[in-house]
Amino acid sequence: MSSPSVLTPLIERVPALAAPCRMHRSVYAIEAAVIDWTRRTGLRVDRRASCHRLAARAFAEFDAGSAALFAQWLTWLFHLDDQVDEECQPYPRLFDGNGAHPLEAAFADLWKITSAAMSDDWRLRFATNLQRHADACRTEAGNRAGARVPSIEEYPLLRRGTAGPYLFDLVEPCLGVEVPPELHADEPWQALVESCADVAAWCNDVASLAKERGDAHNFVVVAAHELGLSPSQAMDWVLDRIVERCADMRAAARRLPLETLPPKTARDVSKVACAYLTSPRAHLDWITETERYT
């Protein structure tokens, strides 16, 4: 059984994942926008990843521009991840300020569009999470160089970092809204973001297990190593943790203090929260169809 297909039972185990995501009616226009942007910024066009289809599902209820912008960021992240795999420590070489590398030029292009209408608080949050990504990638590279397997306790936080935590910040500019800083700092919102990030990252781990054979930075590998489980037992253990985190995500959303916010702010926050809650099924559908893990 292929790794992506192992995720299929989640649809039966998690009620919120039962219904498939609707595909955006402008999915082909979104794809064209991504291809045009990729070529314009000098990145390699990678149709196998199908980033536009993930964004078209996650933003199916919003305008095509929102989905296209998020798909462009996903494309950038996947190119960066591939660079990490090839060079282990890409950040010092990519972001040296001269704009020579296509990834740096593409980032500058996206940043100009994305940050224009956002507050300084949001920009600082994004920059902080971009640094978290860089730090986590370097930690992962150090572990690989030393043949070190992360512990079960440290892996979730490390994985949130390597998965690109700024992706969750990008939902706001894509939707043209902003979550108030005081709400973003509260425990319910942080619990929502972290549980959503864990579900996506751990599903990726299951899907990519066969492709990344030999890499210890996978929750299935970590569980097998520390708990003494067989590969199939470790896979089941991780699936159980994903089910638990899906429940945590719904519980966190119910605890958001929307009734204490001004009506417009409450609507804006609800849009972002709904996008988060939609993402696991959108991600699951994408994993089963993308060629990135084959």
Give the pLDDT confidence of 86-131 residue by residue, as tens digits: 655 555 455 656 656 889 999 999 999 999 999 999 999 999 999 9
Helix H or strand E segment including 180: none
pTM: 0.93
Helix H or strand E segment including 267: helix 263-289
The closest of 151, 159, 135, 164 to 212, measured between CA atoms, is 159
Q: How many helices (H) and strands (E) does the chain have?
A: 15, 0
Assign 3-class secondary structure to 31-78: HHHHHHHHHHHCCCCCCCCCHHHHHHHHCCCCCHHHHHHHHHHHHHHH
- Burial (0-12, 13-18, 19+ Cβ within 10 Å), 230: exposed
- Written as six digits, the tokens of 270 are 């609800």
pLDDT, tens only, 154-167: 999 999 999 999 99
Domains of the chain, residue spans: 3-289
Phi-psi region of 118 (alpha: psi -120 to 50; beta: other; left: phi over 0): beta
**Looking at the domain covering 3-289, what would its CATH class be?**
mainly alpha
